[in-house]
């Protein structure tokens, strides 16, 4: 009750007000409050809510991240062509401006919601939540989220997805994983795209690209694909279908999945907080 004479300090709370304690007062009268909370906890809270929403609708949510122009939309177009007879697919498109990508997806006969972020360089969990209000998820088996083309910022924001895929096109250089480690460490699958161009891009070595991924302590599959020639597409589709089955199995156990890094990080930091 009394902060003046200290009569409210008991054996039970003394450690809080002593130097270094949670409510320690410094000489100038300021109060230090220990927090140890993730800076993005508000986003993470919304992301968890989105994930529950996806799980309730029994769908698999997949987040695609890459540089602009590395073939995310093209990958989705071919994937839709190949899978739409067997699975109900929907897409959330993220870009700074235009409906162009959503229109490309709609031409394939699939529902697409475009998020235009204006100046924001990434999607966040709140933007996804708003987009979900514009979709009928009862009609969806796989929801692809195509993040804003950017190899930096999207890696920091959980959207509620179950899986992250990081794309690396052969025109970008095989050392990209070394230059942008955060986004490649977040991947559950690394897709080397536009592999039909390897014949003319002799400076890109898929082996060196994979080596650069391994140097980040990343064990996930690294697969080559070409949405144009169809090369490597079976491997990618097999992986995706396996993930759909794994998600169904998790749902039947009442479980879910967060992208690779978050459980590891949360567990290791729990000791501090």
Partner 1 sequence: MHELSVCQAMLAQVEAIAKREQASRVERIVVRIGPLSGVVPELLRQAFTIARAGSVAAEAELDTELQQVRIRCRQCGAECAASSNRMICCECGDFRTQLISGDELLLASVELIRE
Check binding of 185 to partner 1 (CB under 8 A).
Answer: yes
Nearest to 180 by CA among 39, 95, 65, 69: 65
Check binding of 153 to partner 1 (CB under 8 A).
Answer: yes
Query: How many residues line the site for partner 1 (CB under 8 A)?
Result: 46
Check binding of 58 to partner 1 (CB under 8 A).
Answer: no
Least distance from C-beta 31 to partner 1, angstroms?
5
* Selected binder of partner 1 within 37, 100, 139, 229 (CB under 8 A): 37
Do residues 135 and 110 make contact, with C-beta atoms less than 8 angstroms apart? no
Q: Which of residues 198-257 bind partner 1 (CB under 8 A)?
A: 212, 214-219
* Selected binder of partner 1 within 8, 14, 15, 42 (CB under 8 A): 42
Least distance from C-beta 69 to partner 1, angstroms?
19
Least distance from C-beta 222 to partner 1, angstroms?
12
Nearest to 127 by CA among 166, 151, 158, 100: 158
Check binding of 268 to partner 1 (CB under 8 A).
Answer: yes
Check binding of 4 to partner 1 (CB under 8 A).
Answer: no
* Selected binder of partner 1 within 30, 207, 253, 254 (CB under 8 A): 30
* Selected binder of partner 1 within 157, 165, 167, 168 (CB under 8 A): 157
Check binding of 26 to partner 1 (CB under 8 A).
Answer: yes
Pairing of β 222-224 and β 142-146: unpaired
Helix ranges restricted to H, 215-260: 233-252
- Segment near partner 1 (CB under 8 A); pick from 53-61, 78-86, 176-184, 244-252: 176-184
Do residues 205 and 173 make contact, with C-beta atoms less than 8 angstroms apart? no
Do residues 209 and 176 make contact, with C-beta atoms less than 8 angstroms apart? yes
Please tell me the distance from the alpha carbon of residue 159 to that of residue 257, in angstroms, as a whole number: 12
Nearest to 189 by CA among 79, 95, 69: 79
Q: What angle do CA 261, 117, 119 make, to 5 degrees?
A: 100
Bridge partners, 192 (sequence order): 168, 224
Nearest to 89 by CA among 32, 135, 52: 135
Least distance from C-beta 235 to partner 1, angstroms?
22
Can you tell me which residue has the tokens 């700074």?
96
Footprint on this chain of partner 1 (rule: CB under 8 A) = 26, 29-43, 120-122, 124, 152-153, 155-157, 177-179, 181-183, 185, 212, 214-219, 261, 264-265, 268-269, 272-273
């Amino acid at each position: 009750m009394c902060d003046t004479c200290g009569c409210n300090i008991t054996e039970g709370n003394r450690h809080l007000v002593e130097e270094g304690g949670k409510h320690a007062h410094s000489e100038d009268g300021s109060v230090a409050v220990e927090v140890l909370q993730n800076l993005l906890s508000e986003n993470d809270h919304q992301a968890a809510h989105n994930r529950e929403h996806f799980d309730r609708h029994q769908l698999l949510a997949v987040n695609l991240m890459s540089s602009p122009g590395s073939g995310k939309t093209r990958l989705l177009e071919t994937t839709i062509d190949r899978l739409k007879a067997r699975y109900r697919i929907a897409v959330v498109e993220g870009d700074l401006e235009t409906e162009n990508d959503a229109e490309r997806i709609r031409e394939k006969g699939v529902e697409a919601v475009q998020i235009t972020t204006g100046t924001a360089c990434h999607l966040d969990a709140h933007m996804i939540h708003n987009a979900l209000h514009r979709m009928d998820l009862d009609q969806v088996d796989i929801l692809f989220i195509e993040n804003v083309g950017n190899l930096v910022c999207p890696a920091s924001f959980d959207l509620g997805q179950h899986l992250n895929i990081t794309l690396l096109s052969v025109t970008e250089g095989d050392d990209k994983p070394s230059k942008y480690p955060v986004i490649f460490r977040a991947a559950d699958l690394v897709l080397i795209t536009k592999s039909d161009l390897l014949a003319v891009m002799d400076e890109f070595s898929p082996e060196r690209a994979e080596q650069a991924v391994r140097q980040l302590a990343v064990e996930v599959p690294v697969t080559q694909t070409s949405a144009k020639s169809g090369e490597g597409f079976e491997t990618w589709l097999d992986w995706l279908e396996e993930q759909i089955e794994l998600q169904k199995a998790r749902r039947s156990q009442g479980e879910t999945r967060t992208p690779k890094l978050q459980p590891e990080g949360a567990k290791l930091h729990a000791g501090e907080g």
